[in-house]
Chain A
Amino acid sequence: MSVVFYLVAALTIAGGLAAVLLKNLVHAALAVTVAFLGLALLFLSLDAQFAGFAQILVYIGAVAILIVFAILLTRGSDLPKDGVFSRTWLIGLAIAAAVFSVLGWAVLRSGPVLPNQSAVPTVTVHDIGVALVRRYVLPLEIVALLLTAATIGAVIVAMHEKGGSQ
C-alpha cells in the first residue's frame, strides 16, 4: 500500500471522528465535509474518476450545504446545556465497537479469498454513460423520479406550518 493511501485514509477517519466528537455543530459539518473529501480522494485512488467527482459534486457541493442550512435554520450552533451526547451513549458506543470488531474480523479472516486483480480497469466516462442509457436505463429513470419526489417532499415537509396554513 502506498503512502498516499495511508495519508488519505487517515484524513478520512480523522474527519469522521471529528464530525462525531466535536461539540459545535458547525465544526462537525466542516469535519464531515473533510471526511467526504477524503472519501472522494479514496475513490480517485481506486481509479473510479467518475464516482470520485460525483462524490465531490453531490456531497461537498450539495449535502454539506444542506447540512449547514439545516444547522442555521434550527439554531443548532448554540451549545446545549446538558451535553451533546445521549443518555444511552455507552450502549451506542458498545454497539458500534461490536459492529466494527465483527466487520474487521470478517474482512481479515476472508483476506486470502478476496479478489485481487491488480490490472487497472480501462473504463471511461463514455462507457459509464453508455451503460446508464442502455443496461441501467430503468434504474436511472427510477432515480430521476425518486429525486423529483424527494425534492418536492422535502420542500412540502419543511414548508408545513402549524394549523394548516402555509
Chain B
Amino acid sequence: MTPLTAYLLVAALLFAIGLAGALVRRNAILVLIGIELMLNSANLNFIAFWRYGPHPEALTGMMFAIFSIAVAAAEAAVGLGLVIAIYRHTETTDLDRMNRMKG
C-alpha cells in the first residue's frame, strides 16, 4: 500500500463517519459537526494529492485546501447562527421536531 492510498483511505473513513453523524444524529449542532468532518476529510485528500502529485510547486491542491478551510469556517459561523436562531424560535435543536416551514 502506497502512502497516498493510506491517506485516501483515512479520508474516506473520516468522510463516512461525518456522513453517518450528519444522518443519524437528532441534534442540529451534531449534524454541523458531521459536515465539518466531511469537509475536513476532503481537505485531507487535497493535501495528500498535492504532496504525492507530480507538480507540488504549482500549489494547486494546497491553495484549494486553504480556501476550503476559509469557506468551511464561514459555513460553520452561519450554520451555528441559524441553529441559535431556530432554537430561539422553537426552543429545540432536535431536527425530528423541526417539521414546519412556517414560523
Q: Which A residues have a C-beta under 8 Å from some C-beta of B?
A: 1, 5, 9, 12-13, 16-17, 19-20, 25, 28-29, 32, 35-36, 39, 42-43, 46-48, 50-51, 54-55, 58-59, 62-63, 66-67, 69-71, 73-74, 76, 80, 83-89, 91-93, 95-97, 99-100, 103-104, 107-108, 111, 114-117, 121-123, 127-128, 131-132, 136, 139, 143, 146-147, 149-151, 153-155, 157-158, 160-162
Contact = CB atoms under 8 A, between A and B. Distances in A.
A65 to B, nearest CB: 10
Contact of A100 (B12, B34, B40): B12
A80 B30 CA distance: 13
9 contacts: A46-B48, A51-B47, A62-B73, A66-B76, A70-B29, A74-B29, A100-B13, A111-B1, A121-B57
Given A25-B27, A25-B29, A13 B83 contact: no
Given A32-B37, A67-B80, A85-B26, A123 B20 contact: no
A17 B15 contact: no
A1 B56 contact: no
A114 B50 CA distance: 12
* Chain B contact patch, size range: 35 or more
A83 B95 CA distance: 12
Given A92-B24, A158-B81, A12 B10 contact: yes
B59 A42 contact: no
A5 B77 CA distance: 31
Contacts of A139: 63, 67
Contact of A103 (B15, B27, B84, B94): B15
Interface of B: 1-10, 12-27, 29-30, 32-34, 36-37, 40, 43-44, 47-54, 56-57, 59, 62-63, 65-67, 69-78, 80-85, 87-89, 93-96, 103
Identify the interface centre among A95, A111, A150: most chain B CB within 10 Å of its CB: A150
A48 B50 contact: yes
Nearest to A22: B30
Contacts of A58: 69-70, 72-73
